[in-house]
Structure 1
Amino acid sequence: MGCASSGMFRKRPQDVMLSPHILDTYIHLEKEIVREEQTAPAPALSHTLGRLDDLAIDLEAAQQRLSRFTRMPSGARDESLREVLIDLGVEKSPDVAAEHEEFIANINRQVLAQNEVDILSRRLEEAEEEVKMLTSKVNFLQGLYQQQDTLLGELFGEAYGSQEEKKLEDELDRLRSYRDTLAGGALDWREASTCVQGGVELLDRAVQVCKQLASQNAESRFHLATEARNCLQEAALSVQMAQALLPGVQFPYCSAREITTVLQAVVYMFTDIHIPDRLSHANRCYMTFWERTKALHKWINQTIETSLSKDLADVNQKMDEVNIKLRRIRVGLVRNQMDEEDVEAYEAAARKQSHASLFIDSAEGEN
């Protein structure tokens, strides 16, 4: 709405007829807007669009790394690795495994490169679906704003109903902007928490599997090692993504060096599983990373709860208070714009609805 030069509201144009139910319409719109705003769809959409761009860049880089290897069918990658291990007799002794470790590691690097492309492609698709959903929510909220502006425009033209209304609406706009800024930051932290939580769950499984490796025959050991490798790789990438979401934050756990160490150990997994000392060392590395990832997840959640959530709750409370004041003022202004007959009709309808509700409640109580 435009600005009014005085505290007096303008009378509605003579050709505009106000329905006795216009107050109900306004209050219903106001409540819908407040409900939709609580989910902060606009900052969520902005956040997800940014994540979509980052994923697209990461995927392109991963595809370029994969292109350095000879192409092979997706399902044949691990099977080819298994056949090489059998042909070389790697399971026969630690010395044979050590002799061929670089050759086997290079095959595994290709599998890991394809895995990374697959992981990023899946997450890109998930982000695209989220963008569609959030775009729909933002459009719906914008439609509610437009309906509210149209309704108030019919009542007051281009003027505010009063200076107090203008003051409160300006305050509400300021709070909305501040809330959206806070919500955007909180979304980055919550997304980082989700990434790290996913990493913890993957590491739970990887550590459990790694403990079984030494006691298995060669065939079972290969399949378990494949599962552990996939879990460890995606867990490390998940923590890496969390760090990318918060580039200005110094994480107290899981440094870039730690992530690199884990990913490097995974490269040599299929020879390490046949060399007891190396397997023991690798398992300690994975266990340490698992413990530190759990600590990181706890730290992120504590930061969210002690700082971001409190700030967001405070501004939401202030918005609620301003919304209530603004609603009361506008209800009063709408009443002033209605003819005496309109007010009487509205109050009669309200009483009728109230009596009907009481009758229904009484009937339900008897049943």
Structure 2
Amino acid sequence: MTLSFFECAAGTIELKDVFTSKNADQSQSSWQRAVGKETVLAALARLEQDIANSEKLYPAQRLTVVAAELETIQQEIKEFEEITVPMTNAESYSKTMHQLFVNLDLYKRPMLAAENEDFVANVNRKEMRRLELSWLRSREKELQRDKRQLHAQLLRIRSLYSQLQQLLGAIWSDGQRPDVSLEEEFERVHSLRDGLANVSMRLKAAVEYAHSALRLLDDALPAWKLASIGKSGWERTAACGDACKLLVRARCQERGARRVLAASAAPRAARALRLALDYAFTDTVHDHKYQRATEIFLQFKESLVQLVNSIHQVLLNNVENLAFTEKELEESRRKLRSARANDIVKRGLHDLEYDMDTLERLKGSTKVVDK
């Protein structure tokens, strides 16, 4: 019986699939055999290198900074929620202030705006607290996501450390490891590196906050200028609302920088900004008050620039020390690895396969020899 072209093609495809699957199985089995033949000497070098590579991004130090900031933010959110109703719509901020001006007829009567500025400031303060609460909740979600990712990285590093200690414990019994002084030196440099990395992560987080605040200020100042020259009351109020929203976020970013630096006391420029924002809507009605508020915003920007410069100076010194310590740590790790490898070769264990059964037998024989 003659097969059609399609039947032959189908048979060819099936035959090809069989050969492909066989080749894949063979390659997988050969890969498994290659992995099974890894020696304890190669496993020791691999585990130490994996640990070194995993610690280069400093997940433990970053997690410390993120966890501390997250705890502080959650406490602030709890305090805010007790007295603040969440904002459902960001546009409601400008609309609320516009409706207040319309009801009090403040657009047409500037003197009346001056008489009611404390009342307007009180309403504005509550609205800005809603903006701040919204920012805190958004930041909380970001930090929780970062915390989960960093925690997963730490779990992997801990697993690598556990495998390394298991390997070392199987080869050498307690107190029998070669060159204990090298281990002590390595631990000393490692602790110094971790301390410098912790400071570096704090400084980097703080400078990122400060840079973000500066960018928000650069966006807020044009909107603030439009608030004084708008043709209609709604244009002026909407522009003022846009500027205030950006300035509130900038103030939150500045507080974030102080939060990671554990500096609770706010500088004078930040306190002046807080008060100026309370009266921002009525200040746009009076030229001299508007100019004064503009000066306060610029002073806050100058203080942020000074903060960034100060952090950069400390950060540069810290980065230099950290880089030097990293080189010292790498050299110490190399010496310790060499000492361990030489002892393994002397004991004739360099060809020993790295697997759980072999390690257990080796550990048992080591204990017998020690006795």
User: Taking structure 2 as the reference length, what is the TM-score of the superposition?
Assistant: 0.78
**Which residue of 2 is the match for residue 148 of structure 1?**
164
Q: Pick the aligned partner of 2:314 from 303, 311, 321.
A: 303
Pair 1:216 & 2:255 matched: no
More off after superposition, 216-225 vs 90-99:
90-99
Pair 1:66 & 2:80 matched: no
Q: CA deviation at 1:331?
A: 1.9
* 8 Å contact kept, 1:183–1:312: yes
* 8 Å contact kept, 1:105–1:268: yes
**Which residue of 1 is the match for residue 278 of structure 2?**
267
Question: Aligned equivalents of 1:154 and 1:73: distance in 2?
Answer: 61
Q: CA deviation at 1:137?
A: 0.9
Q: Pick the aligned partner of 1:184 from 198, 207, 227.
A: 198
**Which residue of 1 is the match for residue 24 of structure 2?**
none
**Which residue of 2 is the match for residue 354 of structure 1?**
none
**Which residue of 2 is the match for residue 198 of structure 1?**
212
SS in 2 for 1:140: helix
Question: Aligned equivalents of 1:92 and 1:275: distance in 2?
Answer: 12
Question: Alpha carbon RMSD of aligned pairs, Å?
Answer: 2.5
Question: Aligned equivalents of 2:79 and 2:38: distance in 1?
Answer: 62
Question: Which blocks of at least 5 consecutive residues in structure 2 are unaligned?
Answer: 1-35, 354-371
**Which residue of 2 is the match for residue 107 of structure 1?**
123
* 8 Å contact kept, 1:44–1:134: yes
Change in Cα spacing, 1:226 to 1:205, as seen in structure 2 (3 Å) is: same
Question: Aligned equivalents of 1:91 and 1:48: distance in 2?
Answer: 46
SS in 2 for 1:91: coil
SS in 2 for 1:92: coil
**Which residue of 2 is the match for residue 232 of structure 1?**
247
User: Taking structure 1 as the reference length, what is the TM-score of the superposition?
Assistant: 0.79
**Which residue of 2 is the match for residue 333 of structure 1?**
343
* 8 Å contact kept, 2:65–2:260: no
**Which residue of 2 is the match for residue 37 of structure 1?**
55
Task: Report 1:23-34 matches (<5 A).
Answer: 23-34=41-52
**Which residue of 1 is the match for residue 5 of structure 2?**
none
Structure 2 counterpart of 1:40, one-letter code: Y
* 8 Å contact kept, 1:195–1:238: yes
Question: Which blocks of at least 5 consecutive residues in structure 1 are unaligned?
Answer: 1-17, 346-367
* 8 Å contact kept, 1:179–1:315: yes
Q: CA deviation at 1:187?
A: 1.9
Structure 1 counterpart of 2:287, one-letter code: P
Kindly tell me the number of residue pairs found equivalent between the two proteins.
Answer: 316
**Which residue of 2 is the match for residue 21 of structure 1?**
39
Identity %: 23
Task: Report 1:51-130 matches (<5 A).
Answer: 51-66=69-84, 74=89, 76-130=92-146
Change in Cα spacing, 1:82 to 1:159, as seen in structure 2 (3 Å) is: same
SS in 1 for 2:107: helix
